[in-house]
Chain A
Amino acid sequence: MTSEVDRPEAASSGNPSPVPAEVPAVDAPPETQAVAWRHLHLLDVDGLTRPELELVMGTTDAMREVLSRPIPKVPALRGTNVTILFYEASTRTRVSFEVAAKNLSCDVVNIAAASSSVSKGESLVDTVRTVEALGADMLVMRHNVSGAPYLAAEVFGGAVLNGGDGWHAHPSQALLDLYTLRSRLPGGSLEGRKIVILGDALHSRVARSNIWTLTAMGADVWICGPSTLLRGFEAWAAHGAAGRRFTVTSDVDAALRDADVVMALRIQKERMASGLLPSLREYAARYGLTQERLRAASPDVVVMHPGPMNEGVEIAADVAVDPRSAITAQVTNGVAVRMALLYLLAGARRAGGNP
């Protein structure tokens, strides 16, 4: 195994914030300075401690500064080959990683599984070995099977960044959501803030990853949706919420009451076919995020959506473009967060890290 086992000393909420690690000077390559990041891969967010989350946020601030320059580019990772291997359709995540890598002067190779040997039946293990032999230093991958990036990390000699796996995890999305919230919420703190994740949690890697990061930062997280799409989350809340604030409910009014943040999740048509929902119309009527529903939330509520949106279903069109919506900011911040992640992971690897 090339990857270390990353495990949390349970990222705890409520504790006083430790002194954040020093943010690296991102114009220079990471190996020229001491960077307090030990992870060789980013496969999940369950192992990230609060200081590590703070380091990602601080590094993202530095990347935002780079992005504000006339030429938004630094030579920090010049010569690094970033291969983007996506087994699922994606626009924003794939392009966001590509732009992030190019801003750090990486060389980028894009592989869409449908147009590669994967469509000829090549196994993931063989594909990963092939891209490594072709010079990949870092592998950004998306896969429709939960846990697939762990298999890639087992055989790949460089860093693996999980760009979304099945229903399991979407680390970069959770981190850009966290970054967006810190810049939107007064004082930049999530401590005690009521954050509602509304919709199809069952099939959502965004919901799962956000539960880890938001509760680690002390937020009061509510998962809300039709009971058929919350299956298993009750057990999570009851069982695994030690020290974290985490509530699961089908009662949308209770969830939205005084909410500081509402994050709507995409509803997919397949859910009707599998008998989980009567109809999209009924979903929109009962759980859609409308201006009327939002009146129950805090007046300064922040509205989010990981995209792509079904306007008129899980979110009303006028809510998506409301001044309180942070949806566009999420996309912009996505590039900066991914630059930070590429930078930190490259640094851990060049520093020797664990084998």
Chain B
Amino acid sequence: MSEVADGMVLRGWAVDPASGREGAARVAIRDGILEQVVWLTGDDASGITPDGMLILPGLVDFHAHFREPGNEDAETVATGLAAAAHGGFTTVCLMPNTTPAIDEPGVVGRVLAAAAASGSPLRVLVHGAVTAGRKGETLSAMGELADAGVVGFSDDGAPVHVATLLRSALAYAGALDLPIIDHPEDPSLTGGAEASEGYVASVLGLKGWPIAGEAGAVARAIEILADVVRDVPAARLHLTHVSTSASLAHVRAAKAVGLPVTCDVTPHHLGFTDAWIAGSRRWAWDQLDADGRASDPWTDGSLTAHPFDTSLRVNPPLRGAEDAAACLAALADGTADAIATDHAPHTEVDKHVEFGWAINGISGIETALGIVLEAVASGGVSLARAVDALTTGPARVLGRRHGVAPGLHVGELADLVVVDGAARWTVTAEALASKGKNTPLLGRELRGVVRLTIAGGRVAYSAD
């Protein structure tokens, strides 16, 4: 069992989206309780800057895969939680594409028991499957899953492709006051696809995953939601790992007319692009030319790594730099409510194979904050907005009743992360607590060293 955080006084640049405050602060923790937050001014604040030591509410990951039960070679709840704590997260929502799928209450209990047995102080929440066995044929035991405490429903990894079923699910979940978390994809357009359709896929001879394969599914889901909310006002749709400008335009328009739709973007779709499959390792925002067009990796000198690195095979696929920029802009303007890691650890057996045969997914929960801090440093999004999308943003999608209320709340159990934004660390297999080493960042220096993660008043991770 982790130890209670006690007798700690932290100084740094605090960002608290719950109160809307940001600035130099001194934070005191006693006996697990956040005893005091003092906002510093004048000489007291000297030397404290937004690009140095940061004090943030504990991060919330709306979308992670911990592979238990069924694929414990790739990750367990215990190793996933250790990775999450190392990444600065204090709350994780686990996706139900386990084996068996989380489609009935018994499996929820198994996951929560594994979390309790791990001794981790992190809060573990579970999404239930939309359909039985995630087969897309009949509804899961949604009401019983809700009684067992699930916080949303998703067939993530696959879309709910049958429109009538998506419609029923939105209505039924709405009545339970839970969101449907849709993985937007039209499989008839994406079958066998290996990379985002476009220049890079064409040159590399990879089967293209067209923009319409996502944007069409987003538009359809929004239209079905519009149809459902007339009868079930509590129906909610959350679109996860949205990756294209076209999809975000649909979401923006739906929000503008007041539909209850939210969405998230992933760190890898913000920071990486399809050019990485060709061997580029430039951040997405560094690949744009003066006109906002993606530069040509074959002529701009950016190809420094081997092509066809399977750690880059992910669904939805990495897009071009223009789409990555659209995701960052959507994060900045609030169209994207949350940043979700889509942490997808895999074994070497499943990844050290031919690109087109490699399983989809990036192990990302330990590098998410670093990529986001790189995006902040690029100027594409403010620190306050980025922190909101990692904390209060996903909490708003979850709703109040699950008790997730990120913030520097005095008098409550401390739940925060201290990260040195000026320091860098080298991402290596050994440095990752996750069993999944499938990240293209291996060997690379990343901004932002997590010094301390406190969850529920207990020390979940400490670098010291």
Contacts and interface: CB of A to CB of B under 8 A. Distances in A.
Given A145-B356, A166-B356, A231-B208, A150 B199 contact: no
Contacts of A235: 198-199, 202
A231 B203 CA distance: 11
Main secondary structure of the interface of B (DSSP, over half): loop
B304 A232 contact: no
Given A145-B357, A147-B354, A240-B199, A205 B205 contact: yes
B51 interface: no
Given A145-B354, A205-B205, A231 B298 contact: no
Interface stretch (A2-10, A254-262, A323-331, A343-351): A2-10
B205 A124 contact: no
Interface in B155-210: 194, 197-199, 201-208
- Residue among A10, A124, A125, A240 with max Cβ neighbours from chain B (10 Å): A240
Given A167-B205, A208-B203, A232-B202, A146 B298 contact: no
Interface string A9-42: 0100000000000000000000000000000000
A134 interface: no
A109 B352 CA distance: 25
Interface stretch (B222-230, B305-313, B399-407): B305-313
Contacts of B194: 146
Nearest to B202: A232
A168 B197 contact: no
B355 interface: yes
B354 to A, nearest CB: 4
B356 A5 contact: no
A147 B355 CA distance: 7
Contacts of B301: 7
A95 interface: no
Contacts of A147: 204-206, 307-308, 354-356
A273 interface: no
Contacts of A71: none
Given A145-B356, A168-B205, A240-B199, A46 B298 contact: yes
A150 B308 contact: yes
A151 B308 contact: yes
Given A10-B298, A168-B205, A145 B198 contact: no
Given A123-B353, A143-B354, A146-B356, A242 B205 contact: no
B279 interface: yes
Contacts of B72: none
A229 B208 CA distance: 12
Nearest to A47: B303
A102 B40 CA distance: 79
B199 A5 contact: no
Nearest to A124: B354
B19 interface: no
Interface string B280-315: 000000000000001010110101111110000000
A232 B204 CA distance: 11
A145 B199 contact: no
Contacts of A10: 298-299
Given A125-B352, A146-B355, A231-B208, A242 B202 contact: no
Nearest to B207: A167
A148 interface: yes
B168 to A, nearest CB: 30
A143 B308 CA distance: 14
Given A145-B355, A151-B308, A7 B303 contact: yes
B205 A5 contact: no
Contacts of A124: 353-354
B119 to A, nearest CB: 37
Contacts of B294: 239
A322 interface: no
A44 B298 CA distance: 13
B296 A146 contact: no
A169 interface: yes
A240 B296 contact: yes
Nearest to B208: A232
Given A1-B306, A3-B306, A146-B355, A233 B206 contact: no
A239 B307 contact: no
A150 B303 CA distance: 15
Given A166-B356, A208-B205, A5 B299 contact: no
Contacts of B299: 10, 240, 242-243
B354 A169 contact: no
B11 to A, nearest CB: 44
B273 to A, nearest CB: 13
A168 B204 contact: yes
Interface in A132-159: 143, 145-148, 150-151, 154
B197 A125 contact: no
Interface in A145-183: 145-148, 150-151, 154, 165-169
A125 B351 CA distance: 11
B308 A146 contact: yes
Contacts of B203: 46, 208, 236, 240
A151 B296 contact: no
Given A7-B279, A10-B299, A151 B197 contact: no
Contacts of B355: 145-148, 151
A154 B309 CA distance: 11
A5 B306 contact: yes
8 contacts: A1-B306, A5-B306, A123-B349, A143-B354, A148-B355, A150-B306, A166-B356, A240-B199
Given A165-B205, A239-B294, 13 more contacts: A145-B355, A145-B356, A146-B194, A147-B204, A148-B354, A151-B354, A167-B205, A231-B197, A231-B208, A232-B202, A233-B202, A236-B199, A240-B298
User: Lowest 7 CB-CB distances: which A-B pairs, in order?
Assistant: A232-B202, A147-B308, A168-B205, A167-B205, A145-B354, A146-B205, A145-B356
